[in-house]
């Protein structure tokens, strides 16, 4: 176990703090945009132009999406602009020059299909005693509107499918059932995984456990871009340290050596964690996730690193297989009290 570093090689606490800051910034920006939209509407404006200090050199972060809820009011037209363009308009206006802008925006809010869909598949377990128990892996399949969503989260979805392909190709006969789930509605508040967990295992609002809760083992999630896997966030589950260290140890040469007790948020493992089931997100190299691709117009195929994705699929296939063959299930944290429904 000594070859597994605890928060040494990667500053996971720092990374988790960065993610929390990102979510706080996102919420604050959302609130500001709502207020501005209201003001603009009162002033009979036709649109807002927004920018941020990150929107430069061709990268535009597109966070202007409105509410997804059918009965919420329509979002006021808010256009993400490059900082260079935005600043030019500001300079002209400061100089007293009139600015004329031509807009051509076509968008549509689809209301004909309200149902979200997860994609679920499994390799059935073979041990008569253990095949009802389930090891899960997954990531979200939906993406953000700024680009095609290559790093958020086609990368995670592709890696998870590749991990399953590897196991199928090897014709493994897992003792426990291995189940992959590609979630929908993550971007609107982890709705796909939350719906699945509450229908299958337990609803966090009442914590009435369904029979499958007892049979569940562990869920592994991938959703932090193209970067290679460096380890696992233990989500404050200290009891899981030894078993995870053992499963991670074969991947030292691939650079996956870190277990941190820290938790990390913002994605689908939280749905499992919220009902007392072991759900973990992997620690990944940042690459250019926050600075370039996450929810921006640059989240395209070109920003994926093939070797990193292969490394991730290899590590995950190994982790999942070991979990499916292990003598014991992953130890759990104490069951949480019922919590009110809310998004992450
Ligand atoms: Zn994501």
CA of 155 to the centre of ligand 1 (A): 10
Q: Taking residues 259-285, report their average pLDDT.
A: 94
| Residue 70 pLDDT level (bands cut at 50, 70, 90) | confident
CA of 140 to the centre of ligand 1 (A): 6
Highest mean pLDDT among 36-40, 144-148, 319-323: 319-323
CA of 20 to the centre of ligand 1 (A): 14
CA distance 176 to 312: 22
Q: Taking residues 131-140, report their average pLDDT.
A: 98
Is the distance from CB of 259 to CB of 234 less than 8 angstroms?
A: yes
337: Cβ–Cβ under 8 A, 6 or more apart, which residues?
A: 207
Q: Which CA distances in Å does 339 have to 87, 201, 274, 275? A: 45, 15, 8, 9
The CATH homologous superfamily for domain 113-325 is Zn peptidases (3.40.630.10)
pLDDT of residue 142 exceeding 80 = yes
Structure tokens at 156: 């995670």
CA of 188 to the centre of ligand 1 (A): 10
CA of 91 to the centre of ligand 1 (A): 36
CA of 88 to the centre of ligand 1 (A): 33
CA of 12 to the centre of ligand 1 (A): 18
Helices and strands per DSSP (H, E), number in the chain: 8, 10
CA of 267 to the centre of ligand 1 (A): 7
pLDDT of residue 19 exceeding 80 = no
This prediction has a pTM of 0.89
- Residue 106: CB atoms within 10 A of its CB come to 4
Q: Taking residues 228-250, report their average pLDDT.
A: 96
CA of 176 to the centre of ligand 1 (A): 28
- pLDDT score of 234: 96
DSSP secondary structure letter of residue 303: G
């Amino acid at each position: 176990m000594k070859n597994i570093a605890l928060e040494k090689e990667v500053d996971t606490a720092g990374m988790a703090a960065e993610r929390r800051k990102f979510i706080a910034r996102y919420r604050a920006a959302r609130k500001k945009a709502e207020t501005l939209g209201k003001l603009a509407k009162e002033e009979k404006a036709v649109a807002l132009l927004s920018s941020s200090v990150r929107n430069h050199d061709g990268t535009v972060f597109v966070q202007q999406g409105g509410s997804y809820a059918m009965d919420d009011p329509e979002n006021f037209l808010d256009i993400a602009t490059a900082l260079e363009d935005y600043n030019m308009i500001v300079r002209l206006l400061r100089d007293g020059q009139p600015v004329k802008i031509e807009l051509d925006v076509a968008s549509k809010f689809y209301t004909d299909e309200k149902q979200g869909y997860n994609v679920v598949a499994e390799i059935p377990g073979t041990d008569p005693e253990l095949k009802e128990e389930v090891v899960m892996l997954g990531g979200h399949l939906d993406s953000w509107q700024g680009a095609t969503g290559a790093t958020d989260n086609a990368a995670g979805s592709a890696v998870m499918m590749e991990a399953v392909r590897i196991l199928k190709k090897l014709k493994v006969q897992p003792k426990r059932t291995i189940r992959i789930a590609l979630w929908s509605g993550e971007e609107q508040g982890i709705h796909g995984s939350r719906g699945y967990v509450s229908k299958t295992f337990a609803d966090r609002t009442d914590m009435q456990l369904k029979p499958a809760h007892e049979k569940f083992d562990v869920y592994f999630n991938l959703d932090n871009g193209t970067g290679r896997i460096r380890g696992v966030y233990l989500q404050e589950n200290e009891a899981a340290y030894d078993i995870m260290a053992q499963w991670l140890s074969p991947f030292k040469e691939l650079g996956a050596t870190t277990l941190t007790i820290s938790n990390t948020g913002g994605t689908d493992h939280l749905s499992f964690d919220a009902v007392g089931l072991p759900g973990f997100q992997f620690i990944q190299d940042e690459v250019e996730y926050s600075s370039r691709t996450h929810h921006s117009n640059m989240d395209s195929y070109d920003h994926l690193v093939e070797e990193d994705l292969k490394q991730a699929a290899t590590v995950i296939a190994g982790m999942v297989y070991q979990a499916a063959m292990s003598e014991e299930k992953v130890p759990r944290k104490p069951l949480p009290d019922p919590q009110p429904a809310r998004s992450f």
